């Protein structure tokens, strides 16, 4: 509360009012409505970029280049979208270890109420991932949860260009309580269309 | 619009539900599986799989018969020729090996990478507590492999180094120590110079007789990879096993000999380098030959902990012995590769000595003569066979010792072929040695000398050596007329010594006289033939008829069978 005391009360009031308006009237909270509206259309896109396992996994397989596709649709509450995301990630190593993952998950996206041409979205999701390891040649599906952040800017009415960073956790604790599962970071540039 | 939104949500959730419904109860922790190994690779430097014989390096490093020095060393025989004598040869203390990678070969001949790791390893030689030589073995770095039956391992050897290699040069007062050789191992250098004392003998592990005439001879490397056969019984490796052990063995312990390489120093004086490498017991090395290929003897076996048994017993033979267990085979054809070995002359004992009062008859045949040696006993009963070597030892000094090949044997005589007039001399005695595969080969010519230096001394040495080479060449029977014959003869020679005729047994142990032994970790259930043989002398393995069959046992899982040796 010390910090709050140092901020002028008028500024605090302004921030509180902005948050309230954003929450209650998401479509009316911004000045340029018409341009934003294109962003609330259904969206289809693809991403491409570096992916890597974290922790112990990073010593077993190498980072790789990977890519995926996604589709997003609006929810009745304006700053929220629901999306489905699928990607293909093949991690090789200097040895014989090889890990192939196909995470498929649904996520909820929240558009941060920042009045800038660049849009910031936070996202979180759940789904399942197909994983295949060599040399054992085992394949199975495991649950995955994810969280991420992305920024994008419009290039005309139809196209958005963006950057994204996702964290994925592949849960395997249900197999064996001691199983750590897999932690991944996916980063990428993306291109998507307002349909 | 609201209908579309609802249906999208429904579809998304349906997909999720479908994905989770495919979860099976037999899922495994795949990330831990990547990290954990089921296949353990153990590297040993011994003939034995259990309880290796202690190091018994002869004290005399210069004795070519019972000592460490090979009989191919001809320039500098002992430390009395050295000034000062205290700077003479020393037995190596370190063994270093640089492995680029390992691969497994399945029954279809397909190669599977499983250890893409460069491993540079250093072990103590002549030290019974070193893990490479005490029966424990070194655990190698590797990944898992696909579930298959594997029959061989390929090991890519970049360098094999033994230290204490010394270079001597000639000068006033005889031979002098020039330097102790150093080598680059694991890229370790100081100001660009190699720092580790040692000599890399991978360059010498080629065959004199084929490899020298091949186009790729300059870069040929016989141990990149070295093929290590995995002995029977084969085990199917599978990722459902908790663990499996692949034991790879190189015969190094008590199998190191000293060789030499000639050269000339910057001043034109002759130098000779004494280095250590594997014994030439299998592929004989002669004077002035630097190629010692084929003598890296290896074996491997795979077993699954929990599916093993053991053989135990006591050595009542009265001598320190080796006991081996090889997979049973009623026809004994598969067993013979382990126990018959092949026949090479045991330098310490002649096979047959015809005795005194011999009469020799000579029959001239196209420049050569057939000599019939009439003997008192029955050479057939004494085990003389065509192909054995007959040595004619001069009791005077009129001509050097000669070796000939036995042509035919009957109950009272031995026939051999020699140059006219040479097989019969008043002043000789005869001895028969088991066949020396190399001697028996008509294409076994001496290696042609090469001029090594640029000075006058090297030129004169070269002329002298070339004359001696011509003399040796002319000694040979003219049974090798062209390159095709040369190739086929040497291919036959290599075939005779190939793994199908000679193999290191998968399970072996050393047992001192009167002591009990245990051969553990034998794949069970299975039938095994148990053999024993007296411990061979330093630098040698077993000759034909050395092994005595002690019994056949069925080894149960987790149990042990007793076979005493008499």
Query: The complex's ipTM?
Result: 0.74
- Strands of B85-223, DSSP E: 94-106, 111-115, 119-124, 138-139, 150-162, 166-171, 174-180, 182-183, 189-190, 193-194, 196-197, 199-200
Most confident of A46-60, B68-82, B390-404, B474-488: A46-60
Residue A175: list chain B partners with CB under 8 A: 27-29
The overall average pLDDT reported for chain B is 83
Whole-number pLDDT of residue A32: 47
- Give the helix ranges, DSSP H, for B325-376: 333-339
The overall average pLDDT reported for chain A is 84
- Strands of B333-427, DSSP E: 359-365, 368-374, 389-394, 402-409, 413-419
Categorize the per-residue pLDDT at A1 as very low, low, confident or very high, splitting at 50, 70 and 90.
Answer: very low
Q: Which residue has the higher pLDDT, B493 or B479?
A: B493
Q: What is the pLDDT of residues B455-473, one digit of tens each?
A: 888 899 899 989 988 988 8
Nearest CA among A184, A190, A187 for reference residue A47 = A190
Q: What is the mean pLDDT of residues B402-423?
A: 77
Return the number of other C-beta atoms located less than 10 Å from residue A148's C-beta: 20
CA angle, A190 then A191 then B1, to 5°? 115
B253 close to B265: Cβ distance less than 8 angstroms: no
DSSP helix/strand/coil, B484: helix
Whole-number pLDDT of residue B416: 83
CA distance B32 to chain A (A): 7
From A46-55, B296-305, B397-406, B517-526, the region with the lowest mean pLDDT: B397-406
- Residue B160 CA to residue B123 CA, distance in Å, equals 11
- Residue B566 CA to residue B563 CA, distance in Å, equals 10
CA distances from B103 to A23, B111, B152, B154 (A): 63, 6, 9, 5
Q: Which residue has the higher pLDDT, B132 or B339?
A: B132
Whole-number pLDDT of residue B397: 59
Three-state secondary structure string covering A94-162: CCCCEEEEEEEEEEEEEECCCCCCCEEEEEEEEEEEEEEEECCCEEEEEEEEEEEEEEEEEECCCEEEE
pTM: 0.78
Q: Which residue of A has its CA nearest to B7?
A: A73
Q: What is the pLDDT of residues B217-269, one digit of tens each?
A: 777 788 889 999 999 888 888 878 889 999 999 999 999 999 998 888 888 88
Categorize the per-residue pLDDT at A63 as very low, low, confident or very high, splitting at 50, 70 and 90.
Answer: very high
- Residue B348 CA to residue B351 CA, distance in Å, equals 10
Is the pLDDT score of B350 beyond 90? no
Beta-bridged to residue B383, according to DSSP, are: none
From B42-46, B108-112, B166-170, B390-394, the region with the lowest mean pLDDT: B390-394
CB contact under 8 A, A95 and B30: no
Q: What is the pLDDT of residues A95-154, one digit of tens each?
A: 788 999 999 999 999 999 888 888 999 999 999 999 999 888 888 999 999 999 999 988
Q: What is the pLDDT of residues B126-163, one digit of tens each?
A: 999 999 999 999 999 998 888 889 999 999 999 999 99
Is the pLDDT score of A38 beyond 50? yes
Beta-strand pair B256-264/B270-278: antiparallel
Sort B552 into a burial class: Cβ within 10 Å, 0-12 / 13-18 / 19+: middle
Is the pLDDT score of A30 beyond 90? no
Whole-number pLDDT of residue B1: 44
Return the number of other C-beta atoms located less than 10 Å from residue B230's C-beta: 21
From B380-389, B396-405, B517-526, the region with the lowest mean pLDDT: B396-405
CA distance B191 to chain A (A): 31
Residue A78: list chain B partners with CB under 8 A: none
H-run or E-run covering B560: strand B560-562
Nearest CA among A55, A54, A131 for reference residue A98 = A131
Categorize the per-residue pLDDT at A34 as very low, low, confident or very high, splitting at 50, 70 and 90.
Answer: low
Is the pLDDT score of B341 beyond 70? no
Is the pLDDT score of B102 beyond 70? yes
User: Nearest by CB to B30, which of A56, A133, A174?
Assistant: A133
Residues with Cβ < 8 Å from B471, sequence gap 6 or more? none
CA distance B557 to chain A (A): 27
């Amino acid at each position: 509360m010390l910090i709050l005391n140092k901020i002028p009360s008028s500024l605090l009031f302004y921030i509180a009012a902005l948050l309230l308006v954003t929450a209650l009237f998401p479509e009316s909270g911004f000045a340029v409505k018409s341009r934003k509206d294109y962003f609330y259309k259904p969206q289809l896109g693809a991403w491409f970029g570096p992916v890597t396992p974290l922790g112990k996994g990073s010593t077993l397989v190498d980072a790789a280049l990977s890519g995926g596709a996604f589709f997003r649709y609006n929810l009745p509450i304006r700053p929220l979208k629901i999306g489905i995301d699928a990607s293909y990630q093949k991690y090789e190593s200097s040895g014989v270890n090889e890990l192939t993952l196909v995470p498929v998950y649904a996520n909820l996206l929240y558009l941060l109420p920042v009045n800038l041409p660049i849009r910031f979205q936070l996202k979180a999701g759940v789904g399942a991932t197909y994983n295949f390891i060599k040399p054992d040649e085992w394949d199975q599906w495991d649950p995955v949860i994810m969280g991420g952040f992305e920024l994008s800017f419009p290039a005309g009415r139809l196209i958005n260009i963006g950057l994204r960073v996702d964290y994925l956790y592949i849960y395997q604790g249900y197999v064996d309580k001691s199983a750590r599962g897999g932690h991944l970071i996916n980063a990428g540039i993306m291109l998507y269309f307002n349909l | 619009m609201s209908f579309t939104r609802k249906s999208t949500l429904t579809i998304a959730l349906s997909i999720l539900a479908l994905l989770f419904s495919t979860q099976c109860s037999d899922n495994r922790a795949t990330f831990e599986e990547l990290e954990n190994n089921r296949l353990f690779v153990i590297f040993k430097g011994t003939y034995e799989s259990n309880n290796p014989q202690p190091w018994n390096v002869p004290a005399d490093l210069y004795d070519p018969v019972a000592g460490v020095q090979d009989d191919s060393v001809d320039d500098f025989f002992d430390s009395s020729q050295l000034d000062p004598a205290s700077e003479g040869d020393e037995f190596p203390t370190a063994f270093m090996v640089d492995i680029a990678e390992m691969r497994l070969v399945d029954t279809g001949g397909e190669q599977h990478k499983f250890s893409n790791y460069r491993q540079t390893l250093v072990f103590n030689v002549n030290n019974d507590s070193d893990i490479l030589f005490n029966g424990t073995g070194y655990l190698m770095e590797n990944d898992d492999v696909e579930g298959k039956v594997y029959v061989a391992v390929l090991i890519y050897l970049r360098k094999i180094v033994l230290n204490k290699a010394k270079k001597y040069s000639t000068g006033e007062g005889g031979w002098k120590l020039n330097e102790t050789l150093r080598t680059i191992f694991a890229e370790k250098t100081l100001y660009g110079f190699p720092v580790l004392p040692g000599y890399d003998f991978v360059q010498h592990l080629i065959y004199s007789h084929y490899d020298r005439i091949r186009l790729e001879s300059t870069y040929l490397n016989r141990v990149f990879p070295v093929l290590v056969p995995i002995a029977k019984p084969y085990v199917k490796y599978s990722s459902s096993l908790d663990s499996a052990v692949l034991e790879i063995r190189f015969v190094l312990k008590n199998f190191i000999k000293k060789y030499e390489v000639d050269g000339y120093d910057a001043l034109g004086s002759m130098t000779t380098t004494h280095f250590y490498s594997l014994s030439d017991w299998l592929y004989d090395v002669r004077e002035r030959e630097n190629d010692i290929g084929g003598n890296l003897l290896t074996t491997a076996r795979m077993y699954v902990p929990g599916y093993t048994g053991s053989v135990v017993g006591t050595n009542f033979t009265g001598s320190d012995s080796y006991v081996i267990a090889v997979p049973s085979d009623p026809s004994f054809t598969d067993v013979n590769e382990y126990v018959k070995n092949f026949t090479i002359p045991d330098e310490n004992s002649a096979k047959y000595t015809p005795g005194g009062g011999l009469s020799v008859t000579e029959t001239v045949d196209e420049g050569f003569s057939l000599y019939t040696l009439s003997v008192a006993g029955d050479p057939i009963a004494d085990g003389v066979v065509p192909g054995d070597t007959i040595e004619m030892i001069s009791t005077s000094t009129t001509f050097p010792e000669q070796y000939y090949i036995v042509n035919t044997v009957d109950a009272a005589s031995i026939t051999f072929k020699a140059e006219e007039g040479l097989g019969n001399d008043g002043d000789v005695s005869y001895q028969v040695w088991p066949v020396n595969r190399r001697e028996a080969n008509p294409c076994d010519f001496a290696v042609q000398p090469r001029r090594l230096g640029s000075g006058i001394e090297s030129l004169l040495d070269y002329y002298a050596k070339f004359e001696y080479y011509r003399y040796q060449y002319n000694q040979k029977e003219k049974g090798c007329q062209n390159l095709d014959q040369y190739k086929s003869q040497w291919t036959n020679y290599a075939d005779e010594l190939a793994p199908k005729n000679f193999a290191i047994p998968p399970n072996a142990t050393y047992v001192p006289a009167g002591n009990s032994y245990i051969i553990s970790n034998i794949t069970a259930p299975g039938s095994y033939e148990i053999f024993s043989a007296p411990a061979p002398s330093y630098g040698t393995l077993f000759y034909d008829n050395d092994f005595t069959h002690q019994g056949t046992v069925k080894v149960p899982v987790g149990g042990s069978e007793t076979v005493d040796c008499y």
